[in-house]
Amino acid sequence: MPDQETDVATFDVSNITTLSVASSVAISGIVLNSGASAYTIAADFSIQGAGIINNSGVTQNFISAQEDIGFGGNATAGDDIVYTNNGEMPLAYGTVFAERANAGSATFINKEDSADLRLAFMLFRDTTSAANSTIINQSGDTYRAVTEFQDHASAGNSSITLEQGLRLISTTTQRAAPPHLSRMAGKFIL
């Protein structure tokens, strides 16, 4: 199992397609080779290298285990990948993009709170971009999913959906709304 900042996790065809990583890891990247199986991976990780490269031809699924999924440096979240953020333990950040990282054309589903977890929080900071991603913030019972843009971060050409009672916060110098913002009684704060 890759677990060093210079390691790259590589996936091919396998009969075991549901994986769970018990502790958070920092790696350089993840490559899903051509013809790789469709995986569902539950993990908390940070990537500082190229990011996630999906050459498999099928949609891949990553689920935050209970803490953070982070992208830094020039890392990209990739293409044809669905990230599900089920909410965080108290004091965790959720899905974070830092430095020059971008969300690629991935889909992010930020879920509401549950009995043991708080809201799903997604943060773009520094000079990151939501790029061509699809971001869906779902509503919950008490806490609601939040997507926030800080510093010089950009929404890029992303499509962002806010379900009832949700917030999209921008404290960035890039004060334009994303081109595809869907509000279902949500709140957009510039």
DSSP-assigned letters across all residues of 90-120: TT---EEE-TT-B-TT-EEEE----SS-B--
Q: How many residues does the chain have?
A: 190
> How many helices and strands, by DSSP H and E, does the chain display?
0, 17
Q: What is the pLDDT of residue 113?
A: 60
Q: What is the pLDDT of residue 8?
A: 96
Q: What is the pLDDT of residue 44?
A: 87
Q: How confident is the model at residue 184 (pLDDT cuts 50, 70, 90)?
A: very low
CA distances from residue 122 to 32, 34, 103, 113, 179 in whole angstroms, order as listed:
24, 30, 11, 14, 18
Could you give the angle at the alpha carbon of 49 between the alpha carbons of 43 and 51, nearest 5°? 55
The SS3 call for residue 132 is: coil
What phi, psi does 90 have (nearest 5°)?
-55, 140
The residue that leads in pLDDT, 175 or 124, is 124
The residue that leads in pLDDT, 107 or 155, is 107
For residue range 50-107, what is the model confidence (pLDDT) as tens digits? 999 999 999 999 998 667 899 999 999 999 999 998 776 555 567 899 999 999 999 9
Residue with tokens 């890029």: 156
Give the range among 70-79, 131-140, 163-172 with minimum mean pLDDT. 163-172
> Taking Cα atoms as reference points, which of 165, 168, 159 lies closest to residue 190?
168
The SS3 call for residue 87 is: coil
Q: What is the pTM of this model?
A: 0.86
